[in-house]
Chain A
Amino acid sequence: MKDKIQHHLSDALLMAYSAGSLPEAFSLTVASHIAMCDECRARLEAFDSVGGALIESVETVAMGNGSLKATLAMIGGAMTERPKARAVTGVLPSPLHDYIGGDLDDVNWRPVGMGVKQAILPTSDEATARLLYIPAGVAVPDHGHQGMELTLVLQGAFMDENAHFGPGDIEIADEHMHHTPVAAPGMDCICLAATDAPLRFRGLVPRIAQSFLNI
């Protein structure tokens, strides 16, 4: 699976994630893609090393008196922590596991019509992250791209006029993008979608019905 990823993170997203300036919902999506994509993991390491270079060149500010002693007291001679075992295998990448408290079976889905389900994840409110479950062959609900939207495929695939997105692929869309993504036939599609626009499924059912008629 890892070799087949075709759609990767942009340099701007990787730099913003490395710098720590993305809203939590976007960070969750970026982290989930990186957990599935070695190439972007390597690119992130390079962006992090830019941060390392800046730490070396930043103007220093003297620590307060007794700060070393205070820090050692905070540590209290504790043993270092053994690294945790690698995340369990499942459909969901490990960053998502942490938000759901389990794998796909533990998702608290809410139907939004026409067999489509969603689960909104708890993140800070600058942006929204949600899991979308779209039955095979069904059009993705038209939720508009008022801001930026990232869509990461976790299972199945979706297609639009321009491209095919399979597991691990990430689509980066902005308000200029107009398209009609459709879940590929054969397997239900599960995506993680993050957007910084207010979440709106206005008139959802009519819209899906309309999408159906347009297929």
Chain B
Amino acid sequence: MTERDIENHEWAECIAAIRDRQSTAAFAVLFEHFAPRVKGFLMRSGADEGLAEECAQEVMATLWRKAHQFDPSRASAATWIFTIARNRRIDAIRKQRRPEPEELSWGPEQEPDQEDVLALQQESEQLTKAIAALPDKQRALIEKAYFGDLSHREIAEQTGLPLGTIKSRIRLALERLRHEMT
């Protein structure tokens, strides 16, 4: 396993420890790693430092409250935290609601398959590498889109978006969903 795989595994364990025993020690580990990243993300997305600090704390508190919803076979910890941070940004900066599809629920009794968790972790790692390896121009375009600097129309007009990098991630997600539905 690469260092990142170990990290991913560790984050998932920490979230499980919050879910199962309200572990503040596990929370502190996650906070140290992710809170400064969430704050950086929010500031890149247009929040001033005070607002970003406040929202980053709220994002981490939401992580605690929603620990039950995290499924390591469907998303890496970083992806899940990104979705919480993004929603907070829409709420706090754009002052809008964000309608979402319902979660596909799996009760706490149904622990995700470890093989699926591992496959997801490897895929996340590959995607992170693929994005890091993109030419500067393409990576900058993706960053602009995700920091909220491009409207839908502007995204649609971009021909240089490297969507090929997520093709295998889509295949994996589809397999997982079909597996779940049967």
**Which residues of A does B touch, CB under 8 Å?**
10-13, 15-16, 18-24, 26-28, 31-32, 34-35, 38-39, 41-43, 45-64, 67-68, 70-72, 74-75, 77-87, 93-95, 98-99, 123-124, 148
Distance, CA A27 to CA B98, complexed state (A): 7
Distance, CA A57 to CA B146, complexed state (A): 13
Determine chain A's interface SS by DSSP, over half rule: helix
**Which residues of B does A touch, CB under 8 Å?**
18-19, 22, 24, 27-28, 31-32, 34-41, 43-44, 49, 52-53, 56-58, 60-61, 64-69, 74-76, 78-83, 85-87, 89-90, 94-105, 107-108, 123-124, 127-128, 131-132, 142-143, 145-148, 150-153, 155-156, 161, 163, 165-166, 169-170, 173-174, 176-178, 181
What are 12 inter-chain pairs, A to B, with CB distance below 8 A?
A15-B145, A16-B155, A19-B155, A41-B177, A42-B174, A53-B127, A55-B79, A57-B131, A68-B31, A81-B65, A83-B107, A93-B101
Distance, CA A63 to CA B36, complexed state (A): 6
The residues of B that contact A45 with a CB separation of less than 8 Å are 74-75, 169-170, 173
Distance, CA A72 to CA B18, complexed state (A): 12
Considering only CB atoms, which chain A residue lies closest to B65 in the complex?
Answer: A81
The residues of A that contact B98 with a CB separation of less than 8 Å are 20, 24, 27
Rounded to whole Å, the gap between the CB of A55 and the closest CB of chain B is 5
A80 touches B166 (CB 8 A): no
The verdict on A49 contacting B75 (CB below 8 Å), with A10-B156, A71-B60 known, is yes
Q: A43-B173, A82-B108, A87-B102 are in contact. List 20 more A-B contacts (CB 8 A).
A: A15-B145, A19-B150, A20-B86, A31-B99, A35-B101, A38-B181, A39-B174, A45-B170, A50-B146, A54-B131, A55-B78, A55-B81, A60-B40, A61-B39, A63-B31, A67-B56, A74-B57, A74-B58, A75-B64, A80-B66
Name the contact of A49 in the complex, choosing from B28, B76, B181 (C-beta under 8 A).
B76
Name the contact of B155 in the complex, choosing from A15, A41, A46 (C-beta under 8 A).
A15
Considering only CB atoms, which chain B residue lies closest to A36 in the complex?
Answer: B101
The residues of A that contact B75 with a CB separation of less than 8 Å are 45, 48-49, 52
A85 touches B79 (CB 8 A): no
Name the contact of A38 in the complex, choosing from B64, B161, B177 (C-beta under 8 A).
B177
The verdict on A124 contacting B28 (CB below 8 Å), with A12-B155, A61-B40 known, is no
Considering only CB atoms, which chain A residue lies closest to B129 in the complex?
Answer: A53
Distance, CA A82 to CA B18, complexed state (A): 13
The residues of A that contact B100 with a CB separation of less than 8 Å are 31, 95
The residues of A that contact B147 with a CB separation of less than 8 Å are 19
B131 touches A35 (CB 8 A): no
Distance, CA A44 to CA B61, complexed state (A): 25
The residues of A that contact B69 with a CB separation of less than 8 Å are 83
Distance, CA A100 to CA B153, complexed state (A): 28
A51 touches B101 (CB 8 A): no
The residues of B that contact A67 with a CB separation of less than 8 Å are 35, 53, 56-57
Name the contact of B61 in the complex, choosing from A16, A75, A85, A124 (C-beta under 8 A).
A75
B65 touches A71 (CB 8 A): no
